[in-house]
Structure 1
Amino acid sequence: MRARLRNRIAALAAAVVALPIALSPVPAAADTTGVTVTYVETSRWETGYGGQLTIDNGSDAPLSDWTIEVRLPSGTAITSLWNATLSQSGGTYTIAPPSWGADVPAGGSYSVGFNGTYGDGGTIPVDCAINGNPCSGSDEPGGEDTEPPAAPSGLTVAGTTATTASLEWAAASDDVGVAGYEVLSGGEVVRAVSGTTATVTGLTPETGYTFTVRAYDTSNNRGPESAPVTATTGAENGGEEPTDPPAERRVAYFTQWGIYDRGYLVNDLVTSGTAEKLTHINYAFGNINANGECFMANQLGQGDAWADYGRSFGAADSVDGVADTWNQDLRGNFNQLRELKEMYPHLKVNISLGGWTWSEHFSDAALTAESRERMVSSCVDQFLRGNLPLFDGAGGAGSAYGVFDGIDLDWEWPGSAGHEHNTVRPEDKENFTALVSEFRDQLDALEGETSREYELTAFLPADPEKIELGFEMPSLMSDFDFITVQGYDYHGGWESVANHQSNLVEHPADPGPDVYSTETTVQAYLDRGVDPADMVLGVPFYGRGWTGVEPGPNGDGLFQSATGPAPGSYEAGIDDWKVLKELQGYELHRDDELGTAWLYDGSTFWTYDDEISMAQKTDWAQSQNLGGVMIWSVDGDDADGSLMTAIDTALDD
């Protein structure tokens, strides 16, 4: 495995401002009525800072031809840039679309990220123009609004944790309109939001901080600061002695959609006792659009940004016991995951990209060096730099910084069939290797910028044929921290015979059509040079079922023909373990050698894992010196975390 940097110091700073008036007038290349450009300071460290420029197209037509010109304070410079091209003449920087183009749709936005060095004048550009017109959106160069907003009133501390302080205040007034608010501490901007609440993160436990807040408008007029308030952070882990993190990797996928019908919230990881037993959470899933870029749902109408960072959780459902407000800078699952990490500092949270349905555009995104750079840059910017698009007052630049500790790739599958709408190319195999390398390069660069460490992992298939068609294992493993290996879905309701879905070894009477086992899958990776310590075995917290199954010679339904998939709570042929364990009128069967269990009532057959078979699989993984256990997905467990406890107990034995 690659050497990783350790003991880095985390960065802190985020500021959103509307940019001031234009540079000296130049002919406009395109109409920019209704178009503004805002600036974001996403992070700062001893030698430099990270920034972002976002074009907001409030017009009724797409903006396909744009050029931004900015001039920075004395001593401040842009040193690198992504999602655009950069040129410099004297003190003026010109930013134009990348070679692949970057249309800004009507009502949409486009962001350009960069790194730089700063001087005594700060990082806020002193001039800005888009197509020769003011970035502030004013009709005339120089603008007409020179009156700053009034000072906000009523600043109070709404709550604290060991590393955060939540603030709220009354709205400020302005003759034109307030664009947003900046929270300051020690003279530095530490948070910027569009609403009247903010949570400042990255603080030190048991420490006092003084905060003020000021308003700004779209012409870069800043008002006076409010009266100060002091917040004192709490003790780490509530003052209790921290517990040692688990030794082996214990990875659980948390599904975005599990908060709905399943009712499984991030807080359930705490109340069930599961969170303290985990080392990693993979959040499923981030999506890739047709342009080969990571995106959030409220941009293109897919996915669920409301669940990700828009939904407000009440005090009873929130990890920290404090209710969300509608206009705080980060809500939803992302904010709950941030709170969870504060409670369990050893826990790493990675964003998983793709999955069965959202692997559609991976082949296109990985096709060329240019497309790979575009995809990785967008994913790193949104999920690791935390620059989310606004969602009803939540989200915004830098709002999700610190939520995610890395990227988990779940392309199903390079070089072979997955979902029916996915593109498959013969060159996917080598392109996947190049894509992984691009992720590793950009993550290494980000580590240098932020003094944080970022992981890169992947979910890989059980089928040896898919492994051969899509994955250059020796080359890949030098860039991955570890891989998780599919240990389930060997059989299911798409077939006409009732069978095991997660057997450890092959059964001599297995009728197929394909004969799988965990043993043969793991051996396929070992044969390709993968260190067993770098493999984490995937196990299912759900079962697969068939109906119309005859008893057969053993009276247990195994390997007998079926008329179709069994009815499920959400989808035919599949159901959560917590549902299956409550079924009545079924007889439980086992095969200890295969590490399998199944239920049969004379007609319906469910292959599933209970506490006993889950412990058997965990023991087997340990006997093979594998690097841990992965769960798909944690919302299938019961309220007591029974399956997770079985894994934890087996790993501790």
Structure 2
Amino acid sequence: MRRSVRRAMIAGAAAVLAIALVPAVNAFAAGSVTATFTASSDWGTGHEVRVTVTNGSDAAVNTWQIAFDLPAGTTISSFWDADVTSSGTRYTATKKSWAGPLAPGASFSWGYIGTGAYKAPQNCTINGGSCGGGTIPTTVAPTTRVVTSAPPTTTRPPTSSVPTTIQPGGKKLLGYFVEWGVYQRNYHVKNIVTSGSAAKLTHINYAFGNVTNGGCAIGDSNADYDKAYTAAESVDGVADTWDPGALRGNFGQLRRLKKMYPNIKVLWSFGGWTWSGGFAQAAANPTAFANSCYNLVEDPRWADVFDGIDIDWEYPNACGLSCDSSGFASFRTLMSALRARFGSNNLVTAAITADGTSGGKIDAADYAGAAQYVDWYNVMTYDFFGPWAAQGPTAVHSALTSYPGIPTAGFYADNAIQKLKSKGIPASKLLLGIGFYGKGWTGVTQAAPGGSATGPAPGTYEAGTEDYKVLKARCPATGTVGGTAYAFCGGQWWSYDTPATIGGKMTYSNNQGLGGSFFWELSGDTTNGELIAAMRTGLG
């Protein structure tokens, strides 16, 4: 991931309306299964709703089905994480097969986009009984329900200790949010909601904090916690204030996002391509480094925003923007110190190289030894090839598999995953990386991969790099190779992932037993989040 810059649809306040439950003696008492509807956004001509199914019984619920009526003027236009059918104004939502049984005390959320202003569903039943609760495992006995404006709970639950349990609703789906995106890219936390992506994500990595003087440091104080958002710009439609102690900027927006979407956990990522040079000093005193990072991440001003830390060291005991010679064990020692300081109630993760060649970057550091201390690794299975080789040959930058003519043998995702697994790293601790951008050359005359070029193709922010949202229209895909799309247009040659190739990669992730997938980065997707939707659908 690079710190360099590869570098509002919904107006007004978001309505928070819920079908609340008539309280039992114990909210999770044996014999109750409930459904709660929350309108997380309402922009007059449409709205987004999150539906949470909670098992308050002392036995697992193997399946559930919710039926409800929508008032006149309201229909469902799209949905996710449940199978939804309709007959007239009556809608039926059924648990997807991949979701698995709902454990006692656990919750599962699915969602939909509705047309028109939000109106509370009527005549709601779950497994034949009232959505307010009842008896299982047979049918749900009816009980009354009321409508309230109370928001959903915002209590931060403790994170499970290593190894992590995948959240209800499927595999991990993690996206990077870049702090500098709020400037030229004009991408803000609100866009995560307006794109329909917030309900699909399980984790967000906030990139990047700096690594300097042997410790963790703020990357951009204005973007991080000082930039003031107007009501129209804010994720929840409420303007920032300059009151003493008020948290503004991305941190403040992420805090509000988590209140709206309690399913999302946020990690603060440190390093990246530009700021990885500081890890050499950090590795010399890992305990001091871990202490500084903990003190920054858990600063009382924003401790509730973050659920852990992510380390993006490019690369331990190898070369990136600069070269590191701290030794084979340095990465393991660093991650051990971070786990000791952050404890089991915080996530500790790392983005790592996908160079699985013999004697390559995976072999240069003790990733296997460090695996015991991390919840998972984000394997950066992209940027294998690009226009830094200005004359080519053209090649897909994020191949899943090898293909005839690949410029460097072993530079593809499956080779990296198999290499990491062969070292004893559990597959469930590996997340497959997806780039929401393309790499391209100009001066190309050959449509197929392997052609010569004269240099990088022009890009909006960086030569040779362009967002998917731009490329899908400007240079549509003309073929696929190695599980990735490529495009030839007007003397330019680009490679990038599309919803179709992402579907294949998510199938691969599932078949390999990986913990899920992640992507770099949110602003590269379309305004309706089609790549994230493809990832969520593919992962299940």
- The TM-score, its normalising length taken from structure 1, stands at 0.56
Q: How has the CA–CA distance of structure 1 residues 238 and 546 changed in structure 2, closer, same or farther, with 3 Å as cutoff?
A: same
User: Quick one: which amino acid aligns to residue 403 of structure 1?
Assistant: V
1:346 is matched with 263
1:472 aligns with 2:359: no
Mapped to 2, the partners of 1:647 and 1:423 lie a distance apart of 34
1:431 is matched with 330
Q: How has the CA–CA distance of structure 1 residues 577 and 319 changed in structure 2, closer, same or farther, with 3 Å as cutoff?
A: same
**1:453-464 map, 5 Å:** 453-464=345-356
Q: What secondary structure is seen at the aligned counterpart in 2 of 1:433? A: helix
**1:433-582 map, 5 Å:** 433-444=332-343, 453-464=345-356, 465-495=359-389, 496-497=391-392, 498-510=394-406, 512-513=407-408, 515-551=410-446, 556-582=447-473
CA deviations 1:488-512 (Å, max 9, x no partner) are: 10100101311111111111222x1
Mapped to 1, the partners of 2:428 and 2:232 lie a distance apart of 40
Q: What secondary structure is seen at the aligned counterpart in 2 of 1:580? A: helix
Say if 1:416 and 1:469, in contact at 8 Å, map to a contact too: no
| CA positional deviation for 1:428 | 3.1
Q: What secondary structure is seen at the aligned counterpart in 2 of 1:597? A: strand
Mapped to 2, the partners of 1:515 and 1:565 lie a distance apart of 24
| CA positional deviation for 1:473 | 2.9
1:266 is matched with 189
**1:54-453 map, 5 Å:** 235-237=150-152, 245-289=168-212, 291-296=213-218, 303-327=219-243, 329-367=246-284, 371-383=285-297, 385-386=298-299, 398-419=300-321, 422-425=322-325, 427-444=326-343, 453=345
CA deviations 1:459-496 (Å, max 9, x no partner) are: 11111244444331332111111111111101001013
Q: What secondary structure is seen at the aligned counterpart in 1 of 2:338? A: helix
Q: What secondary structure is seen at the aligned counterpart in 2 of 1:579? A: helix
| CA positional deviation for 1:317 | 1.5
Say if 1:547 and 1:565, in contact at 8 Å, map to a contact too: yes
| CA positional deviation for 1:423 | 4.6
| CA positional deviation for 1:307 | 0.4
Say if 2:207 and 2:268, in contact at 8 Å, map to a contact too: yes
Mapped to 1, the partners of 2:471 and 2:435 lie a distance apart of 13
| CA positional deviation for 1:591 | 2.4
Say if 1:557 and 1:602, in contact at 8 Å, map to a contact too: no
Say if 1:246 and 1:277, in contact at 8 Å, map to a contact too: no
Q: What secondary structure is seen at the aligned counterpart in 2 of 1:418? A: coil
Mapped to 1, the partners of 2:468 and 2:533 lie a distance apart of 14
Determine which of 473, 494, 513 is the counterpart of 1:625: 513
Q: What secondary structure is seen at the aligned counterpart in 2 of 1:254? A: strand
Say if 2:399 and 2:413, in contact at 8 Å, map to a contact too: yes
Say if 1:359 and 1:412, in contact at 8 Å, map to a contact too: yes
Query: How many residues are paired up?
Result: 381
2:43 is matched with none
| CA positional deviation for 1:347 | 1.0
Q: What secondary structure is seen at the aligned counterpart in 2 of 1:373? A: helix
Say if 2:479 and 2:487, in contact at 8 Å, map to a contact too: no
Say if 2:353 and 2:362, in contact at 8 Å, map to a contact too: no
User: Quick one: which amino acid aligns to residue 633 of structure 1?
Assistant: E
Q: How has the CA–CA distance of structure 1 residues 514 and 492 changed in structure 2, closer, same or farther, with 3 Å as cutoff?
A: farther
Q: What secondary structure is seen at the aligned counterpart in 1 of 2:414? A: helix
| CA positional deviation for 1:651 | 1.8
Q: How has the CA–CA distance of structure 1 residues 238 and 293 changed in structure 2, closer, same or farther, with 3 Å as cutoff?
A: closer
Say if 1:619 and 1:651, in contact at 8 Å, map to a contact too: yes
- The TM-score, its normalising length taken from structure 2, stands at 0.67
Q: How has the CA–CA distance of structure 1 residues 515 and 474 changed in structure 2, closer, same or farther, with 3 Å as cutoff?
A: closer
Q: What secondary structure is seen at the aligned counterpart in 2 of 1:235? A: coil
Q: What secondary structure is seen at the aligned counterpart in 1 of 2:277? A: coil
CA deviations 1:115-170 (Å, max 9, x no partner) are: xxxxxxxxxxxxxxxxxxxxxxxxxxxxxxxxxxxxxxxxxxxx9999xxxxxxxx
Say if 1:473 and 1:529, in contact at 8 Å, map to a contact too: no
Determine which of 589, 603, 613 is the counterpart of 2:478: 589
Q: How has the CA–CA distance of structure 1 residues 598 and 312 changed in structure 2, closer, same or farther, with 3 Å as cutoff?
A: same
Say if 1:543 and 1:608, in contact at 8 Å, map to a contact too: yes
Say if 2:331 and 2:367, in contact at 8 Å, map to a contact too: no
**Identity across the alignment (%):** 39
Mapped to 2, the partners of 1:564 and 1:305 lie a distance apart of 36
CA deviations 1:363-386 (Å, max 9, x no partner) are: 11101xxx2122111111111x22
User: Quick one: which amino acid aligns to residue 293 of structure 1?
Assistant: G
Mapped to 2, the partners of 1:360 and 1:314 lie a distance apart of 37
Say if 1:292 and 1:362, in contact at 8 Å, map to a contact too: yes
User: Quick one: which amino acid aligns to residue 326 of structure 1?
Assistant: W
2:33 is matched with none
Mapped to 2, the partners of 1:513 and 1:436 lie a distance apart of 31
User: Quick one: which amino acid aligns to residue 181 of structure 2?
Assistant: G
Gaps of 5+ in 2: 1-13, 18-147, 155-166
Q: What secondary structure is seen at the aligned counterpart in 2 of 1:353? A: strand
User: Quick one: which amino acid aligns to residue 437 of structure 1?
Assistant: S
Q: What secondary structure is seen at the aligned counterpart in 2 of 1:484? A: strand
- Bigger Rg over Cα: 1
Which one is further off, 458-467 or 407-416? 458-467
| CA positional deviation for 1:515 | 4.6
